[in-house]
Amino acid sequence: EIPLNYGADRLGKRYDADMQKFRDNRLGAFIHWGLYAIPGGEWNGKVYPGAAEWLKSWAKVPSGEWLELMKQWNPTKFDARKWAKMAKEMGVRYVKITTKHHEGFCLWPSKYTENTVANTPYKKDLLGEMVKAYNDEGIDVHFYFSVMDWSHPDWRYDVKTPEDSAAFSRFLTFTDNQLKELATLYPTVKDFWFDGTWDASIKKNGWWTSHVERMLKEMLPGVTINSRLRADDYGKRHFDSNGHLMGDYESGYERRLPDPVKDLKVTRWDWEACMTVPENQWGYHKDWSLSYVKTPVEVLERIVHAVSMGGNMVVNFGPQADGDFRSEEKELAKSIGAWMKKNGQCIYGCDYAGWEKQPWGYYTRKGSDVYMVVFNCPYSKHLTVKTPKGTQVVKAALLNRKSVKVVETARNEYNVDMPAQEPGEPFVIKLQIKEAAGVVDKYRDALT
Ligand SMILES: COc1ccc([C@@H]2N[C@@H](C)[C@@H](O)[C@H]2O)cc1
């Protein structure tokens, strides 16, 4: 191995209670809320189809002009308790909030910059209201924090000159101060999810990313940190130069998921995916007709896919400037929530089952309970189940409902019957299994 000063602090998964809770939560929601919600993808009469929270970049708006939007920031319909109720109803166990996105506008009254909610007509500490409301509903709060800050004069994409070094050093101190402020003002925060860390300036300062992880873990024992923060001595990100995951969970699956057959390596570490409902909109965009909008079942399939491979899924919401949510997002939350109310036991606290993926859907597992989450119904009316050597399927039943027939068809192969009535939505079959070492089987392989 290459000797590193700023590589992974730990090998293998964390198994402390805080990490176990992070893992058991499984389903989260992202809240992307900032000045970008005001223009909603349109600038000077032109609608930009790109991600709405990047409008400043698409329309090449100078920082000074962009920050003028602060004068219009007044979410009169914002009600943190309503937001928390909506999250509760959806069945999310945690919410990741953009404390500061690339635009540099802070949802909390930071004393290290003028670009905060305190200097808007709204005035109050939005982040504080959200943290309290979510926590009151028993929902964990995670902080999204963009290191890249387009509005800070000392931000640098790269550090090439002595002036760059001096400026960026001031920038890192500014960022340290903001992070300490967040950890001090909101000590119930359970996680920091860093973004905006891909530029050369950060890659050349891997030491600082290691310092941030250690600083936050000292201030908030048990807090989790995403791999995206981290760069090692050689600028390697997420995984250090020895291939070890940095931070507590991999955070590279953004709007994509590992392949259930080819990418089984991800089951060796913790990871969290995040997804948008349109093809690529995190912040509020006024026109969702510009790209495909996923149906609730398509969102649900991604949630189950992630859990089936030992990961978490965070579904994104981009609240409107007025503090209300668009109807598509309200309906999505209701729909996912209704399904989770019936079937959540195949998600919460579940993990990779270690069984061979089948075309009808995904397995998840909790201890000796294996769940089949069915998205695709075969014309054979049988759901093929292939178990690892020495594992037998004893019984199968629709969740909390009647059993379905299981027929052994070959060594470690079974036909599990489809339910008599078409469920009309993805459904879950709970398997009772027997894992006996040295099971004698009656099957003979052909001599070929
Ligand atoms: C250059 O590509 C991107 C794509 C997305 C992002 C941000 N990460 C997501 C979680 C959103 O915050 C998006 O703005 C940043 C850079």
**Ligand 1 centroid from CA 62, angstroms:** 19
Whether residue 40 has pLDDT greater than 90? yes
Identify the pLDDT of residue 429: 97
- Which amino acid residue places its CA nearest to atom 11 of ligand 1? 282
Can you read off the two tokens belonging to residue 390?
Answer: 């020495």
CA–centroid distance, residue 245 to ligand 1 (Å): 21
- Res 437 pLDDT > 80: no
Q: What is the number of other CB atoms lying within 10 angstroms of the CB of residue 7?
A: 23
Find the 408 Cα to ligand 1 centroid distance in Å: 48
Angle made by CA atoms 230, 234, 240, in degrees to the nearest 5: 50
User: For residue 399, what are the contacts with CB-CB under 8 A and spacing of at least 6?
Assistant: 342, 343, 345, 346, 371, 427, 428, 429, 430
- Largest pairwise CA distance in the chain: 80
Instruction: List the residue whose alpha carbon is closest to atom 9 of ligand 1.
Output: 282
Span 209-238, average pLDDT:
98
Amino acid at 163: E
pLDDT in tens, 305-347: 999 999 999 999 999 999 999 999 999 999 999 999 999 999 9
Mutate to test the pocket of ligand 1, among 48, 99, 228, 282 (most ligand atoms within 8 A of CB): 282
What are the CA-CA distances from residue 76 to residues 26, 73, 321, 324 (Å)? Answer: 32, 9, 9, 9
C-alpha 282 – ligand 1 centre gap (Å): 8
Question: Angle at the Cα of 154 (from 149 to 155), degrees rounded to 5?
Answer: 35
Q: Are 147 and 154 in contact (CB under 8 A)?
A: no
- DSSP class per residue in 182-206: HHHH-TT--EEEEES--SHHHHTTH
pLDDT bin (cut points 50, 70, 90) of residue 406 is: very high
The string of pLDDT tens digits covering residues 243-278 is 999 999 999 999 999 999 999 999 999 999 999 999
Question: Which pLDDT score is estimated for 445?
Answer: 83
User: Residue 390 in 3-state DSSP?
Assistant: coil
32 Cα nearest atom in ligand 1: 12
In this structure, the number of other CB atoms found within 10 A of the CB of residue 323 comes to 19
Name residue, tokens 């590193």.
Answer: 4
pLDDT at 446 over 90: no
Question: What whole-number percentage of the chain has pLDDT above 70?
Answer: 99
Contacts of 250 (CB under 8 A, 6+ apart): 227, 238, 266, 269, 270, 271, 272
Question: Could you tell me where the DSSP H helices lie in 103-195?
Answer: 126-136, 162-185
The predicted pLDDT at position 422 comes to 84
Average pLDDT of the chain, as a whole number: 97
User: What lines the ligand 1 site, CB under 6 Å?
Assistant: 32, 51, 53-54, 195, 254, 274, 282
**CA of residue 214 to ligand 1 center, whole Å:** 25
Instruction: Identify whether the C-beta of residue 385 lies closer than 8 Å to the C-beta of residue 413.
Output: yes
Q: Which atom of ligand 1 is nearest to the CA of 30?
A: 10
| Secondary structure class of 250 (helix, strand, coil) | strand
Q: What is the whole-number distance in angstroms between the Cα of residue 66 and the centre of ligand 1?
A: 18
Ligand 1 atom having least distance to the Cα of 195: 8
β-strands 27-31, 311-317 pairing: parallel
155-171: pLDDT as tens digits:
999 999 999 999 999 99
Say what the pTM is. 0.97
CB atoms within 10 A of CB 248: 25
Nearest partner of 116 among 132, 95, 131, 101, judged by Cα:
101
ipTM reported for the complex surpasses 0.90: yes
Burial of 37 by CB count in 10 Å (0-12 exposed, 13-18 middle, 19+ buried)? buried
